[in-house]
Amino acid sequence: MANRWKNTLTERDITPEAAYLDRRRFIGAGIGLGLMGLAGTARSETLEPNPWEDITQYNNFYEFGTGKDDPARNAHTLTTDPWTVRIDGLVDKPGEYAFEDIMNAMTVEERIYRFRCVEAWSMVIPWNGFELADLLAMAGVQSGAKYVAFETLYRPEEMPGQRFPVLKWPYVEGLRLDEAMHPLTIMATGIYGKDIPNQNGAPLRLVVPWKYGFKSIKSVVRITLTDTQPPTAWNTALGSEYGFYSNVNPQVDHPRWSQASERVIGGGLFARKQPTLMFNGYEEEVASLYAGMDLRENY
Ligand SMILES: Nc1nc2c(c(=O)[nH]1)N[C@H]1C(S)=C(S)[C@@H](COP(=O)(O)O)O[C@H]1N2
Ligand SMILES: [Mo]
């Protein structure tokens, strides 16, 4: 897959994945930790990314069907060029931003993040993307803004799942402004240095690594700054099970299953289980956002 956007190019466009993984081990040895910045690697452990196949063949993207392999099979129908993102609400410069213009203004970097679905499975994904805070700064956040609302494309001709009322379409999500501005929160445009595949939310999707995967809304076409908490797709569908915050929390179980551990994707039938970490391992970075809050109440 060729890169469409010049500044999404990384060294891995010319480096085979195997060499890339070697470099990761090198970094794990303690050299180049500075590179990782806030990418959650302050913890001593080194994250080993899942292979490309895991990340792009096992997906949740209900606009293309509810089976894990449906998105990979069906998402080729999605047209991602041209693409615009409407940024509106409480911003100084509302408007339709062309994806190319966004990419030219943003600095794309690599973030290797844990990714934990509310269904109790997880992967490690090497995203390429930019901080959401930088995009919001470009639009100029006004002082009255308290929340950020996100919306996925609604295009049933290309998204066959939208012909069925599985969720209320379009898929919507939301963050508190401080969560949206946190440096760990990114808009991802690539994986392993390649353009993000359609099934993973091309051409740009949110990634909030300390929250359950469904908060990381795909194929975003609209971002709205508001002063009231916006509705979210899964909360609207089943509010008793999916809250607005949806922070990864091994101590607060889903009403129908435990969140204490997770199945690591890969490894087939003998898939490994591992304990789930508070805030998905990003506690040091984000716990202060929720100081004094009852996380059981605010699930
Ligand atoms: N628009 C949209 N965004 C979505 C979803 C979806 O169905 N539609 N699924 C969510 C869920 S439940 C998860 S776990 C992640 C999966 O992302 P991945 O397929 O890139 O791993 O996307 C999230 N974003
Ligand atoms: Mo999920």
The model's pLDDT over 13-42, given as tens digits with 9 standing for 90+, comes to 444 454 445 444 433 333 333 334 444 444
Please report the pLDDT score of residue 270 as a whole number.
77
Please report the pLDDT score of residue 86 as a whole number.
99
Query: Closest Cα to residue 159, out of 217, 75, 83?
Result: 75
Instruction: Give the ligand 1 atom nearest the CA of 152.
Output: 1
Ligand 2 center from residue 283 Cα (angstroms): 20
Ligand 2 center from residue 61 Cα (angstroms): 9
Query: Closest Cα to residue 262, out of 144, 159, 155, 122?
Result: 122
Q: Is 24 annotated as a binding residue?
A: no
Tell me the residue type at 178: D
Ligand of minimum distance to the alpha carbon of 173 = 1
Mutate to test the pocket of ligand 1, among 61, 172, 242 (most ligand atoms within 8 A of CB): 61
Please report the pLDDT score of residue 80 as a whole number.
98
Label residues 48-61 b or e (16+ Cβ within 10 Å = b): ebbeeebbbbbbbb
Q: Which residues line ligand 1 (CB under 6 A)?
A: 59-63, 117, 152, 171, 200-201, 213-214, 216-219
Is there a cis peptide before residue 250, judged by omega within 30 degrees of 0?
A: no
Please state, in angstroms and rounded to a whole number, the distance separating the CA atoms of residues 233 and 242.
9
Q: Report pLDDT digits (tens) over 255-285.
A: 999 999 999 999 777 788 999 999 999 999 9
Mutate to test the pocket of ligand 1, among 218, 219, 246, 264 (most ligand atoms within 8 A of CB): 218
Q: HEC states along the chain?
A: CCCCCHHHCCHHHCCCHHHHHHHHHHHHCCCCHHHHCCCCCCCCCCCCCCCHHHHHHCCCCHHHCCCCCHHHHHHHHCCCCCCEEEEEECECCCEEEEHHHHHHHCCCEEEEEEEECCCCEEEEEEEEEEEHHHHHHHHCECCCCCEEEEEECCCCCCCHHHHCCCCCCCCEEEEEHHHHHCCCCEEEEEECCEECCHHHCCCCEEECCCECHHHCCCCEEEEEEECCCCCCHHHHHCCCCCCCCCECCCCCCECCECCCEEEECCCHHHCCEEECCHHHHCHHHHHHHHCCCCCCCCC
Which residues, by Cβ under 5 Å, contact ligand 2, an ion?
60, 117, 213-214
Ligand 1 center from residue 30 Cα (angstroms): 33
Which residue has the least CA distance to atom 8 on ligand 1?
Answer: 61
Which residue has the least CA distance to atom 6 on ligand 1?
Answer: 61
Residue found by looking up tokens 């030219």 in the block: 104
Please report the pLDDT score of residue 64 as a whole number.
98
Please report the pLDDT score of residue 58 as a whole number.
97
Instruction: Give the ligand 1 atom nearest the CA of 206.
Output: 24
Please report the pLDDT score of residue 226 as a whole number.
99
**With a cut of 50, which residues of the chain have pLDDT below it?**
1-16, 18-20, 22-42, 44
Residue found by looking up tokens 């091994």 in the block: 250
* Topology given in CATH for the domain delimited by 11-290: Sulfite Oxidase; Chain A, domain 2 (3.90.420)
Residue found by looking up tokens 């499975």 in the block: 121
